[in-house]
């Protein structure tokens, strides 16, 4: 039976009125490239995607979502049936505490907005992991990427984590770029660098390494 791979991609949006939201510049390119690579490797692919300007790879089962709550509900519905979860999505970590169902008038916009945390989908799923499942997270950081990634690997109880650099201050920026460079870390201490290379090439390398891990340990 083919392995079932659940991949999340793109940003999420958190609204404070029907026409205004906070989000991040994730393009979805890395997650969509992973979907292509997993399909090439013979997996069945469920792609839970935030709003992006990409079309779903042929053969992937697309589940479009907008908010973190929608992504959580969709991932919860699909998780028990998947063998491998790859959480590439740049989930918007905070959401406005108050939502106005009518458009807030310009003159009435508050000078500060209160935020509350969005549930950590990856951490919730990793805690529900059963034998035979592999959970892979991503860590987008502006600095000290490997240390932060290693901390997340432990804190969120992941099998593997992919560390990549983001930010606007020069250097390689994973958000929106076509090229990426990543470090794959395993909970067993494994470490592999991939790239700089196109996102599809990186994705193929990651999928091969994830499948290898899954076959050996899940």
93, 129, 146, 187: which one binds ligand C5P (CB under 6 A): 93
122 sits near ligand C5P (criterion: CB under 6 A) = yes
Shortest Cβ distance from residue 149 to ligand C5P (Å)? 9
How many amino acids of this chain bind ligand C5P (CB under 6 A)? 13
In 3D space, the residue among 106, 173, 163 whose CA is nearest the CA of residue 140 turns out to be 163
Active site residue 24: yes
Joined tokens for residue 158: 């992941």
Q: Is 176 left (phi over 0), alpha (psi -120 to 50) or beta?
A: left
Give, as one character, the DSSP assignment of residue 175. Answer: T
138 sits near ligand C5P (criterion: CB under 6 A) = yes
Shortest Cβ distance from residue 68 to ligand C5P (Å)? 6
Catalytic residue among 24, 147, 173, 180, which?
24
CA distance 73 to 119: 11
Shortest Cβ distance from residue 144 to ligand C5P (Å)? 13
Residues 167-186 that bind ligand C5P (CB under 6 A): none
CA distance 86 to 173: 20
14, 46, 83, 120: which one binds ligand C5P (CB under 6 A): 120
Contacts for 82 with CB less than 8 Å, ≥ 6 apart: 4, 5, 6, 46, 133
Joined tokens for residue 193: 């660098």
13, 29, 63, 87: which one binds ligand C5P (CB under 6 A): 87
CA distance 158 to 70: 22
User: CA-based angle 189:141:79, to the nearest 5?
Assistant: 65
28, 68, 186, 205: which one binds ligand C5P (CB under 6 A): 68
Task: Using the structure block, give the residue that is written with the tokens 């690997």.
Answer: 153
29 sits near ligand C5P (criterion: CB under 6 A) = no
Q: 37 or 122, CB closer to ligand C5P?
A: 122
Q: 43 or 160, CB closer to ligand C5P?
A: 160
Q: Which stretches of the chain bind ligand C5P, using CB under 6 A?
A: 68, 87, 89, 91, 93, 118, 120-122, 137-139, 152
Catalytic residues: 24
């Amino acid at each position: 039976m083919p392995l079932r791979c659940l991949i999340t991609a793109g940003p999420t949006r958190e609204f404070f009125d029907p026409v205004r939201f906070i989000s991040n510049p994730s393009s979805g390119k890395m997650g969509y490239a992973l979907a292509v690579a997993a399909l090439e490797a013979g997996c069945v692919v469920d792609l839970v995607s935030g709003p992006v300007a990409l079309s779903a790879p042929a053969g992937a089962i697309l589940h479009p979502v907008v908010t973190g709550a929608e992504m959580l509900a969709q991932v919860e519905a699909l998780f028990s049936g998947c063998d491998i979860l790859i959480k590439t999505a740049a989930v918007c970590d905070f959401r406005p505490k108050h939502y106005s169902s009518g458009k807030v008038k310009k003159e009435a916009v508050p000078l500060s907005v209160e935020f509350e945390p969005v549930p950590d989908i990856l951490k919730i799923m990793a805690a529900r992991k059963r034998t035979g499942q592999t959970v892979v997270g991503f860590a987008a950081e502006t600095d000290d990427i490997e240390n932060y990634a290693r901390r997340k690997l432990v804190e969120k109880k992941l099998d593997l984590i992919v560390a990549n650099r983001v930010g606007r201050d020069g250097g390689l920026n994973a958000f929106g770029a076509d090229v990426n460079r990543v470090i794959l870390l395993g909970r067993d201490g494994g470490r592999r660098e991939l790239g700089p290379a196109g996102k599809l090439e990186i994705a193929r390398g990651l999928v091969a390494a994830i499948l290898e891990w899954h076959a050996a340990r899940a």
